[in-house]
Amino acid sequence: MSWGLDGVTVRFGGDVALDDVSVSVSPGDIAVIVGGDGAGKSTLCRVLVGLTPIESGVVRRPERIGFQPESSGVWADLSVAENLEFVASAYGLESGPAGRRISYLLEITGLGTARDRLGRNLSGGMRQKLGVAMALLSEPPLLVLDEPSTGLDPVSRLELWSMIALASEEERAVVATTAYVDEASRATTVLALDEGAVLAWGSVDAVLAAMPGRIYETAERAGASSWRRGRAWRVWSGDGTAPSGARETTPDLADVVTVAALTRETRP
């Protein structure tokens, strides 16, 4: 059993928002969708939860999904507890089990001491954690989180990913989007998107192994297939031959995704 998209294409007017995109996530798996602004991350989430119609392809989704939109979904005029209670009543949960679930979620989010604070008065980190708690409330088999860690400081980000890891321990399938490749190290599978097109898809190891050519490090720019990385430059060589004076380096996920984006951009 797995959830996801099979060869999905979405068009808004004449623009392709998702171009033949496939992604699949099983219970206990975490799929991280990486891409910049305009890559199609939010569209993918909205397709997965059924808010955006598709032109072609297949969407496999369970009946119940926990969804946190990019805006966090927290109501500014409700308190922390009221936000959770409202979601519980929307799902028609009985008050006994709902109360126990809310207590548990307040404990793992560390929001117990802020239960009466209004949504508008929460810090960014608290708001995102509450958003995830609201998405988890109905114990959905699939959790879809759109940029849950955007704007969070490292401490809040770690707490948030801790919640996500707990959800995966509970055998939920998780799809989370981010603009930062380093967050993909927390995933079982990675999908890198650029302007709606798939740059890379698979387990982190498979994505690393699938990169054609080799990566070298040099002291200066070396043509169109090079980019800055710290004080040095990275150079991609498609046929693997070493540029003069360059030292081969082991590519990481950021290199692989950059190479895929470069290749896509320079394709005629």
Binding site for another protein (CB under 8 A): 30, 34-39, 123-125, 150-159, 161-162, 165-166, 168-169, 179-182, 186, 188, 192, 194, 227-231, 254, 257-258, 261-262, 265
Q: Single out the residue of 205, 202, 203, 229 nearest to residue 217, CA to CA.
A: 229
Cα gap 34→39, rounded to integer Å: 8
Q: CA nearest 5: which of 156, 157, 189?
A: 189
- If the CB atoms of residues 93 and 258 are measured against another protein, the closer one turns out to be 258
DSSP 79: B
Please give the Cα distance from 137 to 222 (Å, whole number): 52
First to last CA, the chain: 39
Please name the amino acid found at residue 199.
L
Nearer to another protein, 23 or 87 (CB): 23
Compute the least distance from the CB of residue 73 to another protein, in Å: 19
Q: What are the φ and ψ backbone dihedral angles of 123, each rounded to 5 degrees?
A: -70, 165
Closest CB 257 distance from another protein, rounded Å? 5
Q: Work out how close the CB of 256 gets to another protein at its nearest, in angstroms, rounded to a whole number.
A: 9
Residue nearer to another protein on the CB measure, 93 or 234: 234
* Type of residue found at 110: G
73 within 8 A of 131, measured Cβ to Cβ: yes
Which lies closer to another protein via its Cβ, residue 79 or residue 150? 150
> Is 88 or 199 the residue whose CB approaches another protein more closely?
199
- The 3-class SS string of 104-125 reads HHHHHHCCHHHCCCEHHHCCHH
Minimum CB separation of residue 260 from another protein in Å reads 9
To another protein, the closest distance from the beta carbon of 14 in angstroms equals: 15
CB of 86 to another protein, least distance (A): 27
Nearer to another protein, 85 or 159 (CB): 159
Q: What is the DSSP letter of 147?
A: S
